[in-house]
Structure 1
């Protein structure tokens, strides 16, 4: 089984971005070898009487940049599908950070020497992508300084560094196990550096530390249980087994030291996890790669929030009349929120049991695939494989679901599956919170979630995206493109009339415990389609709300109570979902805005495409998905519209 890099729901967001951010900010050379020396600036071609082709300059720079980048960030290299550094960890020391900071500045200077205006559309986007990543690294180093305040970035880095070698079948088990043993042997030194960096308890961000402690428990299980299970097929006399045995004790002891340090630090942890308005605006611009400002974004989101609420009210009135009768609707009167809540509450009773969440998500996939193909909505490739699994313990705590796609540079390795990850409900939750969460992710909402994460959302976009020729753009996709596509496809499916699955047609008797109102919807395809559309609007309203939360929490001072009120009272979310989102909003910044910004860009691009002659939805999607994942507003120049 392989579990490549995670896209949340995501959380692409959530887990991968945490470790990418840490690795960029700390950046550094591997523990097991000295850092590569900073390279002197290249001799100017003009100075020696040559004029070099700008595209060739960019290609040479991009190749050199990626080689250096992967050497400095071996865990990200593995996650990206570059396997020259699979046995190594990054160096998290002060010396390593200083050297990498100098490397970032040198690379930015070198990049500035390439004449951007002389490049074609593809070249300009490649250059902009590299510069954006370097500027994000500078921001991490100068502003966020996560190596001293964010334990979650370390736990994510460690779990990725071990699990990506263990569970992704990009090479024979013997090769991956040898690299895994080397990383396990190097783990005590990595953890010692983490403890030193996190030594100031007051600087630590409490929300990040709380989740990190849970994830480190998952790392312990990975070392104690999962590694022996997954490597059991190796010869008992293998040298790797002996290396695992020798390395396991010191690694677990070092892990315990970090866990104890974080638990001791929690009562004193006062690190500021809110970015502040200025820093948030800077990070948002770098994350979105858009000219849209933070203030403009929250203004757009607030207006869209009200529009979606009106659409939900209109649709809920139609469903209420069908479910309860016109007279009942008249008695409710003009209270739109009451009608929306009544309809959602009735539909929410149709939900799986906690232990059946994974199976329920899996059951949607064949139906979604068939609907997309028959409707010629999005180009599909039957050779691609998708499986549904529970989220591993060491990756839990951030998002309910995610899509783990094969590493972008492993695209030529045949048979690597993608995984639709479903997180089990936390054991610590009481019965009321568990029921609230299940009502949020009822059968109608699971259809929308499966569209977003799987078909035709993340799963489909990512397997087309990995065929982009540019290695740089495969390794550094635009998050708003990726998340925006997944949100956009929710609307595509709803507009096409997707109705999900009804009850067994052989049984025309209403099951015990199912209300007449719910049964009316379940047995009528047109009403089911409306119910899914209503949940699509609710899910989209969550997208809009995420952008508001992101801004008001990190650029403002929104409290937990205010956030919960916005989500539950104004956005129709269940309490369990709202509680989980509050945690996630503290852990991440700027990422929650990518959904709304990206979706808005996709909606506008679709409108522009429909205004062109001979519009075909399938052809439009095929053309748009053939360029990897650049900022959506850059697609027209790539598609020859400009």
Structure 2
């Protein structure tokens, strides 16, 4: 305790000395000439600290900066070893700086930012000291995504983006030379994925960049230099993939993370009040609940679809038979993407009609074919513009079925049949990921928008599926409810699968049995999920854990609000905190804390298209009557 008091006292003296100008300005503005409180000084100082933290963070994470729309470092590519050293030092120094801020004197919004920064810094230390994925995961050396972003996003004139692209390429040979020194015992499955992604994504440099040059105003002399550098860069990338093939061995590190690392990564990435074991236990119980509901619905639907055929004595087989019949209704392979595009406006209209959320019609959602450099992990995903670039496009990336044999395509389309395709669109688009990320980018706290929590993001998407059906989407048809149960069971079994594989020893055969027999998934979907669990870890648990935590929060919030509870108000308040972990949002929503001086107001971050990128703005002390006004 003595050490804490001394540190805090020292900190206050430092703040007084360093921020004297701010202090006396505040006194001058006070009509009575009184001094501002320690809490106000601490919060003003912390807000300035956040700006400094982000400035330094982007210098060391230029690719991350580009992805969130901060374009000052688009032309920078750090070599892996250099970045590793700098990030370790950065984490150590900022944990020390962070410790000087007294948490109990920060506003609720600043306190949430404090926790997010602290978790990021601790996770960074753990990543390099314990996880050491840089030694066994070659996919971490895929630089293509950022180059594609620079080329495809129209945040600046084409010529300017091409020059940033060109300058960034300069480091590619050194980058992959460095990577070869760091990779020691690569996971075979991750090695194969890295080779596929880099070979598939090489077209961004080989073709897309060259094509864009011909459309630009850049001089012929400059273009010649750019083309030569592109060739050198391609040679370095292909040299790395060729090298990966030579060292690939089935004796490399196992793709299984191991229970100890799994538990630790779960704590850092999911940030739930649940432990990984508690999450697993909750998922097992949820599976039982869903099976019970699905058996009931299947018995109700059996006569309609199976006629006089005798029901199987095995209740799960009964469910499987009904689902199989419903799965026969699906689009043709060539219509898959267009079917998705047609459903988006209908989802928007339903959300508006039922008053579930306020939608922003000015934010575009572009359905596109999944880029090659993203392929191999998930069949559908959403890419959102960052908080510095609020006018950018949000992309709904749809996996292509081109080149699939008829049997595999049929299996895939039965999985994404006419019912589940709608649920997929709710999850990925409206009111799922797309909607949530639009809200997140409107938050005044850059920290909460940037350091998004995967469990909150995925959990919201799963929660939104059930919310839509509860509001009557699908005309309350038992068919839609049954297929949603199957879909919800998918999130549940994702968690069960991930834990059993990475913290246990589940085999491929056991995994396929779980997914096909107990989760009623098609063969192609189940095999794809097995591949996914071999090249990822912990992320698959985010769907169920986030959903579980949000549902629990909503029930507690309903009790708190009693007859004042409104679903739309809950949804919008929840989303107003950006992508912060649910446990911190819960703390804010269930307390009646009066907002303290210095809490952030709802001003938008500026666009980052000019030469000098915006910094986190210092905010004036502000008071509100009641309620937690912080937004993430």
Q: Shorter-chain TM-score: which interval?
A: 0.7 to 0.9
Aligned to 1:209: 191
Indicate how the Cα distance of structure 1 residues 180 and 239 shifts in structure 2: closer, same or farther if over 3 A, else same.
Answer: farther
Is the aligned partner of 1:547 residue 2:495?
Answer: yes
Aligned to 2:11: 45
Indicate how the Cα distance of structure 1 residues 239 and 122 shifts in structure 2: closer, same or farther if over 3 A, else same.
Answer: farther
TM-superposed deviation, 1:550 = 1.5
TM-superposed deviation, 1:80 = 1.4
Separation of aligned partners in 2, 1:129 and 1:387: 30
Separation of aligned partners in 2, 1:43 and 1:192: 49
Contact 1:215–1:394, Cα closer than 8 Å, also in 2: yes
**3-state SS, counterpart of residue 170 of structure 1:** coil
TM-superposed deviation, 1:334 = 4.0
Is the aligned partner of 1:148 residue 2:135?
Answer: yes
Contact 1:601–1:632, Cα closer than 8 Å, also in 2: yes
Structure 2 gaps, min length 5? 1-6, 17-37, 593-632
Contact 1:204–1:269, Cα closer than 8 Å, also in 2: no
TM-superposed deviation, 1:240 = 5.0
- Which of 86, 90, 110 pairs up with 1:123? 110
TM-superposed deviation, 1:215 = 0.5
Separation of aligned partners in 2, 1:373 and 1:47: 53
Aligned to 2:160: 175
- Which of 367, 388, 393 pairs up with 1:417? 393
Map 1:483-522 to 2 at 5 A: 483-499=458-474
Separation of aligned partners in 2, 1:378 and 1:334: 44
Aligned to 2:608: none
**3-state SS, counterpart of residue 80 of structure 2:** coil
Separation of aligned partners in 2, 1:104 and 1:126: 16
Deviations along 1:38-79, one digit per CA (max 9) or x if unpaired, are xxx999435669468321232232211111111011111100
Separation of aligned partners in 1, 2:147 and 2:251: 28
Aligned to 2:306: 324
Separation of aligned partners in 2, 1:125 and 1:562: 41
With normalisation by structure 2, the TM-score equals 0.85
Separation of aligned partners in 2, 1:49 and 1:480: 36
Aligned to 2:610: none
TM-superposed deviation, 1:237 = 2.6
Q: How many residues align?
A: 562
- Which of 418, 430, 453 pairs up with 1:443? 418
Separation of aligned partners in 1, 2:586 and 2:320: 41
Map 1:67-216 to 2 at 5 A: 67-93=55-81, 96-155=83-142, 158-198=143-183, 200=184, 203-216=185-198
- Which of 581, 585, 609 pairs up with 1:631? 581
TM-superposed deviation, 1:430 = 4.1
TM-superposed deviation, 1:537 = 1.0
Indicate how the Cα distance of structure 1 residues 355 and 241 shifts in structure 2: closer, same or farther if over 3 A, else same.
Answer: farther
Contact 2:198–2:237, Cα closer than 8 Å, also in 1: yes
Aligned to 1:468: 443
Q: Quick check: 158-167 or 351-360, which moved more?
A: 351-360
TM-superposed deviation, 1:236 = 5.9
Separation of aligned partners in 2, 1:603 and 1:447: 22
Indicate how the Cα distance of structure 1 residues 426 and 278 shifts in structure 2: closer, same or farther if over 3 A, else same.
Answer: farther
Contact 2:8–2:101, Cα closer than 8 Å, also in 1: no
Contact 2:301–2:322, Cα closer than 8 Å, also in 1: yes
TM-superposed deviation, 1:433 = 2.6
Is the aligned partner of 1:350 residue 2:335?
Answer: no
With normalisation by structure 1, the TM-score equals 0.84
Contact 1:184–1:244, Cα closer than 8 Å, also in 2: no
**3-state SS, counterpart of residue 541 of structure 1:** helix
Map 1:367-378 to 2 at 5 A: 367-378=346-357
TM-superposed deviation, 1:269 = 5.1
Indicate how the Cα distance of structure 1 residues 269 and 79 shifts in structure 2: closer, same or farther if over 3 A, else same.
Answer: farther
TM-superposed deviation, 1:333 = 5.1
Map 1:222-237 to 2 at 5 A: 222-235=204-217, 237=219
Aligned to 1:298: 280
- Which of 404, 407, 431 pairs up with 1:432? 407
Map 1:256-271 to 2 at 5 A: 256-267=238-249, 270-271=252-253
Deviations along 1:94-147, one digit per CA (max 9) or x if unpaired, are x54234322211211221121112212111110000011111111110122122
TM-superposed deviation, 1:382 = 1.0
TM-superposed deviation, 1:482 = 0.7
Aligned to 1:583: 531
**3-state SS, counterpart of residue 267 of structure 1:** coil
Separation of aligned partners in 2, 1:57 and 1:216: 44
Contact 1:448–1:532, Cα closer than 8 Å, also in 2: no
Give the alignment's Cα RMSD to 1 decimal: 2.1
Indicate how the Cα distance of structure 1 residues 620 and 100 shifts in structure 2: closer, same or farther if over 3 A, else same.
Answer: closer
Aligned to 1:481: 456
Structure 1 gaps, min length 5? 1-40, 500-524
Indicate how the Cα distance of structure 1 residues 250 and 493 shifts in structure 2: closer, same or farther if over 3 A, else same.
Answer: same
Separation of aligned partners in 1, 2:15 and 2:400: 64
TM-superposed deviation, 1:400 = 0.5
Is the aligned partner of 1:405 residue 2:384?
Answer: yes
TM-superposed deviation, 1:271 = 1.4
Indicate how the Cα distance of structure 1 residues 48 and 245 shifts in structure 2: closer, same or farther if over 3 A, else same.
Answer: closer
Is the aligned partner of 1:607 residue 2:586?
Answer: no
- Which of 346, 367, 370 pairs up with 1:391? 370
Indicate how the Cα distance of structure 1 residues 610 and 96 shifts in structure 2: closer, same or farther if over 3 A, else same.
Answer: closer
**3-state SS, counterpart of residue 295 of structure 1:** helix
TM-superposed deviation, 1:166 = 0.7
Deviations along 1:534-574, one digit per CA (max 9) or x if unpaired, are 22111110101111111111111111111111111111111
Contact 1:316–1:343, Cα closer than 8 Å, also in 2: yes
Separation of aligned partners in 2, 1:340 and 1:640: 40
**3-state SS, counterpart of residue 383 of structure 2:** strand
Separation of aligned partners in 2, 1:78 and 1:67: 13
Separation of aligned partners in 1, 2:112 and 2:233: 42
Is the aligned partner of 1:251 residue 2:233?
Answer: yes
